[in-house]
Amino acid sequence: MRKIVLIIALFMGVSGCKVNPFTGQKTLNFYPNSQIFPMAFAQYDQFLGENKVITGTKEANMITRTGQRISAAAERWLAANGYPGYLSDYKWEYNLVNDEAVNAWCMPGGKIVFYTGILPITQTETGVAVVMGHEVAHALADHGAQRMSAGMLQQVGAVAGNIAIKDPKTRNIFNQAYGVGSQVGVMLPFSRGHETEADRIGLQIMAIAGYDPYEAAELWKRMKANSGGQAPPEFMSTHPSNDTRINNLTVWAPEAAAEAAKFGVTEFK
């Protein structure tokens, strides 16, 4: 049994690689679009059916318009960089949901939700574009599938340890140490890496779409103010700290503007 688990883990490690076109790096991904997208689309439809979706308002139309501009910019970038069919399986959708939570999220395949609670912080269409670029980037980089793949490997490691360790007391110690160690030492940094990657990709895509990348740091300053300083230490969080994001986005803004200039975009909304 132990050999079977190790063989499965080895097979996953060898076969589960996909290149991220924005970074050129191989990613951990065991799930093809044909498998994960239908599941994500079904879950998204179920969520919309169970929540109040706002349509036809100025804010709802802004969410859709911004999402369309940014996904179109992503397609332009991909086509120009040798990935013309990369988005063929994506079914972009952008919905505004009545909820006080300060949040927005994206599912694999381009299914995005904004909560009304985030609009007072985004304030403008450019503020929405900062968040939208980040969420679109998650979809482009297959972060959902990567998190599922990492979770699978985490489970395989736990099973392998429990098979290998025969002594019940030692096994119990292993399970406690493995649970905390794999979460704090692997899974949380993995998630923070995705968030940072989505910030950087999203910044470039929003700039190509004509939105001012220098406004991204300002949006996160408002996010920081809204949080009231209530946040866990960064090493215990799935996301980088507000200060880390503000610093990163400030440094990356000129890079995003230069990327947009390659597509003839030199003035921003």
pLDDT tens for 22-77 read 877 776 666 778 888 999 999 999 999 999 999 999 999 999 999 999 999 999 99
Cβ proximity of 36 and 145 under 8 Å: yes
255 is catalytic: no
Judging by DSSP bridges, how do beta strands 111-115 and 93-97 pair with one another?
parallel
Residues 6 or more apart in contact with residue 92 via CB below 8 angstroms? 67, 68, 71, 110, 111, 112
pLDDT tens for 152-193 read 655 655 556 567 676 666 666 645 554 545 454 445 544 677
Least confident of 8-17, 90-99, 215-224: 8-17
- Per-residue burial over 102-141, b if 16 or more Cβ lie within 10 Å, else e, is bebebbbbbbbbbbbbbbeebebebbbbbbbbbbbbbbbb
Give the per-residue pLDDT at 230: 64
Query: Quick one: what percent of the chain has pLDDT higher than 70?
Result: 71
Q: Angle, nearest 10°, between helix axes 143-164 and 168-182?
A: 160
Give the per-residue pLDDT at 10: 47
CATH architecture, range 2-261: 3-Layer(aba) Sandwich (3.40)
Q: What is d(CA 192, CA 241) in angstroms, rounded to the nearest whole number?
A: 9
Give the per-residue pLDDT at 19: 77
Give the per-residue pLDDT at 33: 83
Q: Which of 50, 93, 135, 218 is catalytic?
A: 135
- Could you give the 3-state DSSP secondary structure of residue 241? coil
The stretch 196-201 carries a mean pLDDT of 92
